[in-house]
């Protein structure tokens, strides 16, 4: 799928007539890939790297363009592991054209505040990186909210389901930390080559702001990951303690049933009752009173020993 955008009056607008300086390829077909490789002289390995979710972020400078491989979060509506996926984006900056390639539909140009006052295609490329960092921050906040919800459910939990969800979130955060750090390395290389790439002073300052924002995003991801990992043992102990409380309660209930049952059973055997009570009309009530007395004694022992 191909989308065309144009840079008009400092804004990035979609052009439905197929004319514009910015072209976005989503899941490019074979013919589109051949066009990018043969006509636009994009390196085949670099192009396929932009479609590989496991590829690391990097910068490559070619004779007629600069290639940027960028990591980007991709939110879905599936289970937790697949809900926060990470994909790769390829940005190819030519002199008069910007080509963006991705394997998934990405909201790069959604929410236009990031793309106001764009004077050149390089501005669009830098602000696309900035938008990606903002997407990471949004996803991190969502992960933190989910972790808080799961923690509240863990207070009375005895099953491993909620704990497994936390393990899955912790795994997601590890991938996020790795992806954001990968973007940081790419940004450092981009800043070191601003002269070679022909960036202006203003673009260099904007790139510096994006780098700072990405560093803060990386620190936030590391904090969330450390907190989640550090408290995992405590959450395991909570579930174990909840299970112990239930087992203790069941044991007390069992004792409460067994003791009076033993008293009644002992006097229900085919033996003579003591004190000549075989024919006494009070024998039933005396045995019943002994059964209740045993329960009462058990309750006193429970309170005294704080079982």
Examine residue 46 and state whether it is found in any structural domain, yes or no.
yes
Q: Do 79 and 183 lie in a common domain?
A: yes
Please indicate whether residue 198 or residue 111 has the higher confidence score (pLDDT): 198
The answer to whether residues 207 and 265 belong to one domain is: no
Last residue of a domain, one of 179, 209, 230: 230
- Residue 235 inside a domain? The answer is no
Say yes or no: 244 and 219 in one domain. no
**Number of structural domains found in the chain:** 2
Q: Report pLDDT for 24.
A: 92
Asked if 221 and 259 sit in the same domain, the reply is no
- Residue 163 belongs to some domain of the structure: yes
Q: Which of 230, 259, 283 is the last residue of a domain?
A: 230
End residue of a domain, out of 175, 202, 230: 230
Domain of residue 51 covers 2-230
Assess if residue 182 is contained within a domain. Answer: yes
Where residue 15 falls among pLDDT bands split at 50, 70, 90? Answer: confident
pLDDT tens column, 33-49: 999 999 999 999 999 99
SS3 for 129-195 is HHHHHHHHHHHHHHHHHHHHHHHHHHCCCCCCHHHHHHHHHHHHHHHHHHHHHHHHHHHHHHHHCCC
One domain for residues 60 and 96: yes
Same domain, 273 and 134: no
pLDDT above 90 for 1: no
pTM score of the predicted model: 0.74
CATH of the domain at 72: 3.30.460.20
For residues 146 and 90, the model is more confident at 90
Confidence of residue 220 (pLDDT cuts 50, 70, 90): very high
């Amino acid at each position: 799928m191909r989308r065309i955008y144009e840079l008009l009056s400092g804004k990035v607008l979609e052009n439905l007539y197929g004319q514009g300086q910015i072209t976005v390829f989503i899941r490019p077909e074979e013919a589109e890939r051949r066009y990018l490789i043969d006509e636009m002289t994009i390196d085949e390995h670099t192009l396929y790297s932009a479609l590989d979710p496991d590829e690391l972020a990097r910068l490559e400078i070619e004779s007629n363009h600069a290639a940027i491989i960028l990591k980007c979060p991709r939110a879905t509506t599936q289970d937790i592991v697949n809900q926060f996926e990470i994909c790769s984006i390829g940005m190819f900056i030519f002199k008069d054209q910007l080509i963006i390639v991705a394997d998934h539909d990405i909201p790069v140009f959604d929410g236009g505040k990031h793309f106001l006052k764009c004077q050149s295609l390089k501005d669009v490329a830098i602000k696309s990186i900035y938008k990606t960092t903002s997407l990471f921050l949004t996803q991190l906040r969502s992960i933190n909210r989910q972790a808080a919800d799961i923690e509240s459910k863990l207070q009375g939990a005895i099953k491993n389901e909620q704990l497994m969800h936390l393990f899955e979130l912790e795994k997601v955060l590890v991938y996020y930390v790795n992806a954001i750090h990968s973007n940081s390395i790419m940004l450092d290389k981009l800043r070191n080559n601003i002269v070679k790439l022909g960036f202006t002073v203003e673009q260099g300052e904007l790139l510096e702001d994006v780098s700072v924002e990405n560093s803060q995003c990386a620190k936030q991801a590391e904090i969330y990951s450390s907190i989640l990992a550090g408290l995992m043992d405590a959450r395991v102990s909570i579930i174990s303690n909840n299970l112990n409380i239930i087992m203790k309660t069941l044991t007390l209930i069992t004792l409460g049933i067994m003791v009076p049952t033993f008293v009644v059973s002992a006097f229900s055997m085919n033996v003579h009752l003591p004190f000549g009570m075989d024919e006494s009309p009070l024998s039933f009530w005396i045995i019943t009173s002994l059964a209740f007395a045993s329960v009462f004694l058990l309750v006193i022992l429970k309170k005294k020993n704080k079982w």
